[in-house]
Amino acid sequence: GFDLFQLWIEGFFNNRIFDLFVNQTFSVISNDVLTAVPLFLFMGYIVERANIISRLFTTLALATKRIPGSLGIAALLTCTLFATATGI
């Protein structure tokens, strides 16, 4: 009984799937482009917590109050500024 169990354990840990799993995980971790994802999320969190977008939109809406369609212009300018800042 013990030899069969030991054989099963050796077969389980000598399986190629673990090597492939480690190799694939390392290739994802070493990808330089994916380091931008947590930084992008952190930037979005900071912008949302600081209420920057709302303050900018309110300021632009008040500054262009007398222009027809100023709310649309303020929305377009706010979106343009933050799309440029985030790299979209």
pTM tops 0.85: no
Residues 42 and 77 in one domain: yes
Q: In 3-state terms, what secondary structure has residue 4? A: helix
Q: What is the pLDDT of residue 1?
A: 53
- Taking the C-alpha atoms of residue 60 and residue 38, their distance in angstroms, rounded to an integer, is 30
Residue 40's contacts (CB-CB under 8 Å, 6 or more residues apart) are 86
Q: What is the percent of the chain with per-residue pLDDT over 70, rounded to a whole number?
A: 94
User: Are 39 and 24 members of one domain?
Assistant: no
Cα–Cα distance for residue pair 65/75, rounded to 1 Å: 13
Q: What is the mean pLDDT of residues 39-58?
A: 85
Q: Are residues 59 and 85 in the same domain?
A: yes
Q: How confident is the model at residue 48 (pLDDT cuts 50, 70, 90)?
A: confident
The answer on 81 and 65 residing in a single domain is yes
Residues 26 and 46 occupy one common structural domain: no
Which structural domain range is residue 78 located in?
Answer: 34-88
